[in-house]
Structure 1
Amino acid sequence: MLQRVHLMTMPTAAAFHNIMAEPVPPGSLVLLTGINGHVASAIALRLLERGYRVRGTVRVLSSARTVHDVLTKQFGTERLEIIAVGEDIAKEGVFDSAVKGVDAVIHTPSPVMLDSKHPEEQFKPAVNGTLNILRSAQQEPSVKRFLWFGSISAVCFTAKDPTKEVITRDDWNVVSEEVVKNPDDPELGFHAYIASKVVAERAAWKFMEEEQPSFSLTTVLGSWVTGPVFNEVPKPPRLDATLGMVHSVFAEPPRLTGISPYGGIIWCHLFDIADLFVNSLTSPLPLNKRLIGAAGRTSWVAVAEILRNVWPERHYPPAQEDAPTVRFPGGDKAEFDTALERELLGGKWRSLGDAVVSCARDLTEKEAKGWDKP
C-alpha cells in the first residue's frame, strides 16, 4: 500500500517544545546511518576531524570495508564503530540497539532508483526507515538532536514561479506526488524518487509535531552533491547516481553521445553538505529548520569544461540540446534563500571547480585500478 502524507503547513520552531535542545559538542557519540554512502562517508570524516565519536550503520558489514579502511587509517579505531542493522531498514525496531547511548542521530539512507515503475519500492523504505529511527531515538533519553538528509527537490516543483520568486525553506514540492498517481506517466521513475523524499520529510515533521520528542530536528536538503570519494565504488557507477553523473562526463570510452548545456543543475560541494550536518550539532540556528544545500547552478557542459582544463587528453561528449538532464520548471533561473546556510558555513560555499575536480580525480584513480575490489 502506497503511504502518503498530505500537504501540511510547515511547523515553526516555536511549535516544538525542544527549541532549546542542548548542543552536541565534540567528544559526543553520533549515530550515522548508511555510513558507506557518498555523502555519509564525508560526514563521518568531518565528524572525526572535529573530535566526535561515530557509530555508523550499514545493512551488511562488507559494504563498509572501504570507508572503514579510509577512516581508521587516519583516525584509528577508538572513535569509530560500524555495525550492521540488516537489509530492511523499514523493519520496526531495526535501529533500537544502534541508538543506545548516542547524543545525536544523522539519518542518510534512502533508495535511489530513477527508473522505478513501482513507487512503493521507494516510498516504503524512505518513509518507514525515517519513522523507525525517529521512534527508536524517541526511546533513548540521551538523544538531543536528530538530523535527516533530504532532497532539494522537496523545495522545487512548487507553486511558485522560480523565474520571478526566490525559493525558501518554507516551500514544498506540489507536483511529484500527483505524477506518481499515474502509472503511465513517462517521468514516473524520476518523480517516484522525488516524492519518496518529500513524503518521508513530511512524515518526519509530522512525527515531531505530534510526538513532541525531547530532541530537535534539522533536515538538510541536498542537491547534486559532489566532491572527494571515500566510499566503495566496485564498478562504473550508475548514470543516474551522483558519482555516475560525474563519471559519465569524462569516462573512457565515453558512456554518452552528448551532454546537456541546460544550466539548471543545482549543485553543492560534498564538504559543505557534511559541514551543514556537523555544524548543526552545536549551533542553535538550525534547530527545527530545513537547510537548503544549494551553492549555485551549473550544466554538464560547464562541468566538462572544468574537467577538460585538468585532463585535456580525455574525450568529452559534445554539447547536445536534447541530451538527458534533470530539469524543473524555471530551474535555470532559480535562486534559493541560503543566508542561514552560508552563516553556518562561515560565510560562503566552496567552489564548483574543487567539487568537480576532487570527485573526478578519485574516480579516475578507482577506474585506473579496475575499481574497488573485494
Structure 2
Amino acid sequence: MSPIPVPSNSVLPPGSLILVTGITSFVGGHVADQLLKRGFRVRGVVRDLSKAEWLEDRFEKDYGKGTYEVAHVPDLSVKGALDESMKDVSGVVHLATTLLFGPSTPDEFILPTVAFAMNALESADRSPSVARFVFCSSTASAAMVPPNTHITVTKGMFNETAIEASRRPPPYDPSHAMVSYSASKALAEKAIFQYIAEHPDSRLTVNIVLPEFNSGVPLSVEHQGYPTSAGNLKAVFEGDYTTAKFFPPLHYIHVVDDALLHIAALLHPGAKSERIFSAHQSKNMNTTLALFRRLYPERRFMEDDPTEGENLAVYAEKPRATELLRWMGKDEWTGMEESFKELADSLILVESV
C-alpha cells in the first residue's frame, strides 16, 4: 500500500521517527495509524507491555517490519524517564495523561498530568534531534460551558474556575473528577507556555491540540473496548442512561479528524506556539438519540431527557482548525451521521458475533 502523501512544505519528511505517548489510547492509536499511513515511523511509549502487544502485530501487518517500535516507560512522572526514548526522534506527540473518573484528590489527578507533560517536554528539549512537540490537551482547559450558555471560546482563555475549584478541600464526590481533569489540562498547558517563555533559545516548536468529544471506532475494539467518549455513545445506543448522562452537551469530532489535527500541529510550517481547538459540532444525548432512531428504526431506544440543554459555545479558532485539516488533505470535517453510524454499526457487528 502506497503511503498517503504529505504536503510538500511539511517541516518533517516521511520516514522521520515520531514518538507517540499514550499510544494505546483511543486517540493515540489513531494518531500512530495516521502517521504510519503517511510513511512516518512511529515509536510508541507504553507503560504496560502486555497491553500493547497487539499494536506491534497490527502495525507490522499493515505497514511492514521496522515501521513501528516500542519504548517501555513504566512511569512517565519520573524525571528523565523519556530521555532514552527520544533518541533519533524528530517529533513528539504527547497524549499520555491521567484519567480517574471517581473520587480523587488534586494530587492524584492533576500532579501526574502536569509531571507527564513537563517531563516529556524537557526530555524532548534535551534531545538534539527533536524539532517538534505536540501536547494533547482538552477544550475543558479553556472552558467548561454550562448548557444553554452563549459563549465564544478564544485561544487566550484558561479555565480558572476549574483550577480554583480543584483546590477546594475534601470530601470529593465523583463530579469533582471533571473539575480535576479540566484543571489538570489547564495547568499543564500553563506550565508548557511558561517553559517556552523561559527558554527562548530552545530549538523546539511546541503546539497544543484541544479536543472535545471524540467519536468513531477505536483502532481495536477487541483490545481497547469503547473508552471514554466512545463508551458514552455506546451507552446512548444501548440504553445505559447513567453512563449516557455522564458527559454534558459537548462538541464532537471524529477521532481521525482529531488525529489529523495532531499531525498538522506536528508538521505545518506555520503552526508555532498555537492552541488548536479540535471540536466540530454541538451534540447532546437527545440529538444523538434522534439520529440513532432515524438510522435504526427497527431498534428501540430510551426516551429523551426533556431537561437536557444544548452546548451553545462557539470556538473562535475553528477556521484555523479547518484550514489545518484541509492542509492535511481532508476537504471537510466528518459529519455527525457518518461518525456516529460508524460506531453504532460496530456495536451491531459485535452483537451478531
Match of 1:128 among 115, 136, 148: 115
Match of 1:188 among 169, 176, 199: 176
The one-letter amino acid of 1:206's match is Q
Match of 2:58 among 70, 88, 99: 70
Q: 1:272 to 1:234 in 2, by over 3 A?
A: closer
- Other-structure match for 1:333: 312
Identity %: 27
Q: Secondary structure at 2:70's aligned position in 1?
A: strand
Note the 1:43-192 alignment, pairs <5 A: 43-86=31-74, 88-157=75-144, 163=150, 165-182=151-168, 183-184=170-171, 187-192=175-180
Query: Which deviations, in whole Å up to 9, do the C-alpha atoms of 1:16-71 show, x marking residues without a partner?
Result: xxxxxx91121111000111110010111110111101111110111113333333
- Other-structure match for 2:3: none
Distance in 1, matches of 2:323 and 2:118, equals 30
Q: How many residues align?
A: 333
Query: Which deviations, in whole Å up to 9, do the C-alpha atoms of 1:72-121 show, x marking residues without a partner?
Result: 321122211122111x2111111111111100000001112232331211
Q: Secondary structure at 2:282's aligned position in 1?
A: strand
Q: Secondary structure at 2:54's aligned position in 1?
A: helix
Distance in 2, matches of 1:257 and 1:162, equals 24
Q: 1:152 to 1:31 in 2, by over 3 A?
A: same
The one-letter amino acid of 2:123's match is S
The one-letter amino acid of 1:29's match is L
Q: Secondary structure at 2:137's aligned position in 1?
A: strand
The one-letter amino acid of 2:129's match is S
Q: CA deviation at 1:306?
A: 2.4
Q: 1:94 to 1:42 in 2, by over 3 A?
A: same
Moved more, 89-98 or 301-310: 301-310
Distance in 2, matches of 1:149 and 1:143, equals 17
1:29 matched to 2:17: yes
Distance in 2, matches of 1:148 and 1:364, equals 34
TM-score by length of 2: 0.86
The one-letter amino acid of 1:170's match is G
Match of 2:215 among 211, 214, 226: 226
Distance in 2, matches of 1:312 and 1:71, equals 37
Distance in 2, matches of 1:23 and 1:336, equals 27
The one-letter amino acid of 1:335's match is V
The one-letter amino acid of 2:289's match is A
Unpaired segments ≥5 residues, structure 2 = 1-9
Q: Secondary structure at 2:52's aligned position in 1?
A: helix
- Other-structure match for 2:189: 201
1:345 matched to 2:325: yes
**RMSD, aligned α-carbons:** 2.5
Distance in 2, matches of 1:228 and 1:30, equals 23
| Residues 63 and 232 in structure 1, CA contact (< 8 A), matched pair in contact too | no
Q: CA deviation at 1:365?
A: 3.8
Q: 1:139 to 1:245 in 2, by over 3 A?
A: same
1:360 matched to 2:348: no
The one-letter amino acid of 2:79's match is E
The one-letter amino acid of 1:349's match is W
Query: Which deviations, in whole Å up to 9, do the C-alpha atoms of 1:196-245 show, x marking residues without a partner?
Result: 1111111111111112321110000010011121145558656xx22210
- More helix per residue: 2
The one-letter amino acid of 2:199's match is E
